[in-house]
Amino acid sequence: MESSSDAQALKMKSERLEDELKKLGLKVKHHEDSLRFLKSEIDSIDEAILDKQVSLGRCNSKSPQDSTVNNLQVAEEDTLKSIMKEGGSAAALICQMKYHYSVKALKVPLMKDILGIVATLCRVNDDNLSRLLSEYLGKETMLGIVCRTYDGLKAIERYEKQGMVDVAFGLHGLGSSIGRPPQGRFTVFCLENLRPFSGDFKPDDPQKKLELHKPRLPNGEQPPGFLGFAVNMIYLDHMHLSFLTPKGHGLRETLLYTLFSRMQVYKTRSYMLHAMPCISDGAISLDGGIIRSTGLFYLGSRENVEVKFPVTDITSNLPIDIRDMEEEIKLLKWRRERLLEDRKREEILLDHVKSLFSDKKKEMMEFSAQWNLTQQPKNSQLQLVLSKPNYSS
């Protein structure tokens, strides 16, 4: 009776192991099918991107060149020169690496994640406005480093056990290698972690300006002298306009909204002061008035701004069909990045399930040896499963 009971227990265990092995085999097949599908989707997107880039190249070759493009390049070079004059700043080091050590920079992982410096990512169409916005933000913010992801942030700096900065790692080690180690503290904006603007964009706006409600005085009227919101008075070139974070957000609704929020711009200081009841996130006036936030005024003579945004009268000199194609390419690239992330996750899951399958098969083979000693003939179903060469077919 005891022998019969043991045999029954062994049979039940055999069936359980066989069932678990089959389930793991199905999981392996599921992940392999998912990887094949993702590869097909990525290949399809790669072809679409290539086709659109070829078409875009043809359109660009036919697009007339304008002298204002050269003016923009000069303005950007002036901004870069002013940054590199900032001695041992981290921003100066980044600019040095990108423009004087470009070959070396391409080999440094942390440089690949850095999008640029705040002052180089935006432009305005008026020198006075550029100086006021730059003064409002302050030099430390204008020299802020902008990185794409939190992993990129971690690659910039790490710390020793005592909390001291590891000067041989990241940006500090990179600076030391060219004789320009960064001095003091510096600001870094991590786009992945910035809370984006949650509202809508202005419809059919090529610059993707934010849909912000105009301020209203207590009597319901719009304050006189109101020119607009600073976040929408900044222009992004087509390269930075096409940038997207891993979550699909652009520079305007992340970086620019973090910098300016709903800060308002007025013609004169008197207009700005008159509008105080409807100013919540600061304001500036074109004659030099600055309110940083409710109840916080910035007084005294205007400063000589050393680092400011590039100034150009270009707002959007690209034909609509070129802008549309660039937008399509941007969205395709963003979708490709998401698919690559999905593929990486599937590969990790597949490796994990394969490992479980291998362990379970080993357990089943060991059990089979024990089973063969206690019962004849051999369990045909068990042997059939173990004899299958390819579990994913």
Q: Could you tell me the sign of the dihedral formed by the alpha carbons of 147, 149, 155, 161, in that order?
A: positive
Residue 2's pLDDT band, with cuts at 50, 70 and 90, is: very low
C-alpha to C-alpha distance for 286 and 15, rounded to whole angstroms: 82
* Mean pLDDT over the full length of the chain: 81
CA separation, residue 270 to residues 129, 131, 213, 290, 323 (Å): 17, 20, 22, 11, 40
For 320-331, b where at least 16 C-beta lie within 10 A, e where not — what string?
Answer: eebeebbeebbe
Task: Provide the pLDDT for residue 268.
Answer: 92
Residue 348 has pLDDT above 50, yes or no: yes
Task: Provide the pLDDT for residue 67.
Answer: 45
What is the β-pairing status of strands 283-285 and 264-266? Answer: parallel
Residue 372's pLDDT band, with cuts at 50, 70 and 90, is: low
Q: Give residue-wise pLDDT tens across range 168-223.
A: 888 888 888 878 888 889 999 999 999 999 989 988 788 889 999 989 999 888 89
Task: Provide the pLDDT for residue 9.
Answer: 72
C-alpha to C-alpha distance for 95 and 220, rounded to whole angstroms: 48
Q: Give residue-wise pLDDT tens across range 28-67.
A: 888 899 888 888 888 888 877 777 776 666 565 554 444 4
**What token pair was written down for 11?**
């049979």
32 Cβ contact list (under 8 Å, min separation 6): 350, 392
Average pLDDT over residues 144-151: 92
Average pLDDT over residues 103-110: 68
- The CB density around residue 128, as the number of other CB atoms within 10 Å, is 12
Average pLDDT over residues 116-139: 90
Task: Provide the pLDDT for residue 276.
Answer: 93
Highest mean pLDDT among 59-68, 98-107, 344-353: 344-353
**What token pair was written down for 352?**
């994990």
Share of the chain above pLDDT 90, in %: 24
More confident residue, 48 or 133: 133
Task: Provide the pLDDT for residue 315.
Answer: 47
Q: Give residue-wise pLDDT tens across range 259-302.
A: 999 999 999 999 999 999 999 999 999 999 999 888 888 888 88
Residue 374 has pLDDT above 60, yes or no: no
Residue 323's pLDDT band, with cuts at 50, 70 and 90, is: low
364 Cβ contact list (under 8 Å, min separation 6): 17, 18, 21, 382, 385, 386
Average pLDDT over residues 341-347: 88
Residue 259: how many CA atoms within 13 Å on its side-chain side? 34
Residue 1 has pLDDT above 60, yes or no: no
C-alpha to C-alpha distance for 385 and 172, rounded to whole angstroms: 58
Residue 254 has pLDDT above 90, yes or no: yes
Beta-ladder partners of 293: 296
Residue 112 has pLDDT above 50, yes or no: yes
Least confident of 117-126, 279-288, 300-309: 300-309
Highest mean pLDDT among 25-34, 75-84, 236-245: 25-34
Share of the chain above pLDDT 70, in %: 80
Residue 329 has pLDDT above 50, yes or no: yes
Q: What is the 3-state secondary structure (H, E, C) of the chain?
A: CHHHHHHHHHHHHHHHHHHHHHHHHHHHHHHHHHHHHHHHHHHHHHHHHHHHHHHHHHHHHHCCCCHHHHHHHHHHHHHHHHHHCCCCCHHHHHHHHHHCCHHHHHCCHHHHHEEEEHHHHCEECCHHHHHHHHHHHCHHHHCCEEECCHHHHHHHCCECCCCCECCCCHHHHHHHHCCCCCCCCCCEEEHHHCCCCCCCECCCCCCCCECCCCCCCCCCCCCCCEEEEHHHCCECCHHHHCCCCCCCCCCHHHHHHHHHCCCEEECCHHHHHHCHHHCCCCEEECCCCEEEECCEEECCCCCCCCCCCCECCCCCCCCHHHHHHHHHHHHHHHHHHHHHHHHHHHHHHHHHHHHHHHHHHHHHHHHHHHHHHHCCCCCHHHHHHHHCCCCCC
Residue 68 has pLDDT above 50, yes or no: no
